[in-house]
Amino acid sequence: MSDEAIKDALNRMPYGFYSITSRSGDDVNAMVANWVMQSSFTPRLVTMGLAKNAYSHDLIQKGGVFAVNIFNKEDDDAIRPLTKGRAKRPDKMENASYTLAPETGCPIIEGAAAYLECRVVQMIDVGGDHDLLVGEVTNAGTLKPGDVNSTLMLRDLGWSYAG
C-alpha cells in the first residue's frame, strides 16, 4: 500500500479538538490536541498522542497530572489562542483566562464546555515522534450544555492533523 493511501485513510478518521492543560508546581500550560480517546471503562482511562517536543510533554512527565478541556463548536474562539506553542508564545498562559481544577490544579480554560482531570498512569515511548500518554480520569465537570454532536471537531475548523 502506498504512503499516500495510508495518509488518505488516516485523514478520514474524525478527531475532536481539545485543550490539554498541565501543571508542575507553579508552572502551568495549555496546548491543543486531537489524538485523544477513552481507552478503558474500569478504571476510566483516556489515551492521547503527545508530541515529544511539546512543552507540555515535560510538564506532564514532571507533574503527573493533566486535564482535557472539551469545547462546543460555537466556542472555537476560546481555544484558538492556545494553538501556538510556548516556544512561539512564551507568555500565552499569562494572557489565558482559566480557573484551576479542584483535584489536579490544572487550568480549566474559560469557555470550555466540559473537562476531565487525569493522573498519569503511563507514558509510553513507542518509537515515533509522539508518546502515548495514558491517564486515569479522577474528576470531571460539565460547564455548558451539549453532547457529542456539539463537541468541537478538528474538521469544524477546516484543519487536519493526521496522515
Please state which architecture CATH assigns to domain 3-157: Roll (2.30)
pTM across the whole model: 0.96
* Domain residue extents for the chain: 3-157
- pLDDT (average), residues 32-59: 97
- What long-range pairs does 6-15 form, CB within 8 A, spacing at least 24? 6/163, 7/162, 7/163, 8/163, 10/162, 10/163, 11/160, 11/162, 11/163, 13/162, 14/153, 14/155, 15/153, 15/154, 15/155, 15/161, 15/162
Neighbours of 36 (CB within 10 A): 21
* Cα–Cα distance, 23 to 106 (Å, whole number): 5
1: pLDDT confidence band, cut at 50, 70 and 90? low
Q: Write the pLDDT tens digit of every residue in 117-160.
A: 999 999 999 999 999 999 999 999 999 999 999 999 999 999 98
